[in-house]
Structure 1
């Protein structure tokens, strides 16, 4: 009943763990030296360790590196400034740096990290920088880089503000599936609901990208949009099903799903989400 991780995903996790093990006990100077390593993923793990340790020296280094002529150092600087602990003065300076990098840097990876880091800073500061992010997103939703548009969707997910909806609708109509996936996630996590959002979700039901399609199915079911009923029946008839899809049948409230849920019960046995959904739909059916 759980998502099966691919061999590729497992390999990525193993590599990440290897780099984490390599960096976790290194002294600060060794970690700083790794920022220039040819392997960017290793450099990023070193940056994560420096970010976690914090301190004025690392903050000043990241602020200076944001003006480096090497794009990787600017990207790592943007990453570090996203979640490192800052005092009021340091935060004011860092926010300006991140905003400028997100809007003006020539490197897409730098712009992407800067947008994500602004999202993290907004989240850490209890969303007080939401207006800043909304202002930035007016430009970054149109960025030519997929990475930047994905980061924009992520950043818009960290706070709830209905002014985000027009921006997220643009991202839901993006040409790239990963952008649409993150935009759908942002819509769902903040429970936005408009007719246009639902129509965008209906279009996502034909996406080849499973994650984007998954968000659309869950979103439509929770909004009680019965255009998703036949898709749910199809998904719940597969050899591998997902607990969340079983769970949202109760939200959808379409009693025509009961035969499919009974088949799920016969095939997989009982479990909490299934029992709840069957109970809800049987109760609804008894009132018809």
Structure 2
């Protein structure tokens, strides 16, 4: 079954759409004026519009704003520099700005946006700056701000490099569930697999944060770690189930899940992920 959005998530999406509508036809000067609006989310939407439009004027503005005495303008500058189109010289300057902001800015929100933006630049450059990002992450995984550690986990998700595994393991053991969630996502999206990663995922099975627990369930199943079997049986016996959890039963390859999948079929009818998983597990069972 498809994941259902909460009323809170829907309200956030509605607000985002409202701000997007408000900004989409504004002139460049009016968008720049909105960067100083009291509503930071509206300012961020204006920054996103400026980022999309690009151009040397916006790049210079963002680079100058990164030295502003107002933390909000520094945060918006870091955001803009993350994905705006840059030439080689502009990129070199912008990366230095982002690196310095990520390590040294007094504002946690500025450091957070700077780390995320550095990750985006690394992604756009096709791993060209991966070593520099790893060096940056060595410090930011220890940042006192949850936001910065979340951004670090995100940044490490944008490229596949096994040298990032020790850093992600630190983040998987973080005290905050959202950090662990993004670290687990980074591990899964890059298909990293070590015994310590699996053990971290097993610990995440007890997380109250559903997203973190979800990543752990999916990750263990795809790594054919049968310590997740009983958790999957429990999750697939609920009134609301998720396509991804049905799908990964085929990866796990544990035929003891078949009775649960038959119950899912009786309750919800057939759908692609369910049919595939039942077929795979029935084939495995026939070979026993």
TM-score, structure 2 normalization: 1.00
CA apart distance, 1:2: 1.1
Deviation readout 1:121-154 (Å, 9 max, x if unpaired): 0111111111010000000000000000000000
1:86 partnered with 2:104: no
Whole-angstrom distance in 1 between the partners of 2:249 and 2:21: 43
1:162 corresponds in structure 2 to 162
Give 1:118 deviation, angstroms.
0.4
RMSD: 0.4
Shift of 1:116: 0.2
Mapped to 2, the partners of 1:279 and 1:16 lie a distance apart of 42
Cα deviation, residue 208, structure 1: 0.3
C-alpha deviation, 1:51, in angstroms: 0.3
Question: Post-superposition shift, 1:3?
Answer: 1.1
Q: What are the superposed Cα offsets for residues 144-173 of structure 1, whole Å, 9 maximum, x if unpaired?
A: 000000000000000000000000000000
After superposition, give the CA deviation of every residue in 1:4-58 in whole Å (9 maximum; x if it has no partner): 1111111111110010000000000000000000000000000000000000000
**Secondary structure of 1:182's match?**
helix
| In 2: Cα distance, 1:95 partner to 1:225 partner | 40
Distance 1:264 1:187 in 2: 29
Map 1:1-288 → 2, pairs under 5 A: 1-288=1-288
TM-score normalised by L of structure 1: 1.00
Q: Which runs of 4+ in 1 moved over 3 A?
A: none
Equivalent-residue separation in structure 1 for 2:207 and 2:232 (angstroms): 15
CA distance in 2, matches of 1:16, 1:188: 28
Q: CA deviation at 1:286?
A: 0.7
Query: May I ask how many residue pairs the two structures share in their alignment?
Result: 288
Encode CA deviations 1:180-222: one digit per residue, 9 max, x unaligned: 0000000000000000000000000000000000000000000
Runs of 5+ consecutive residues of structure 1 not aligned to the other structure: none
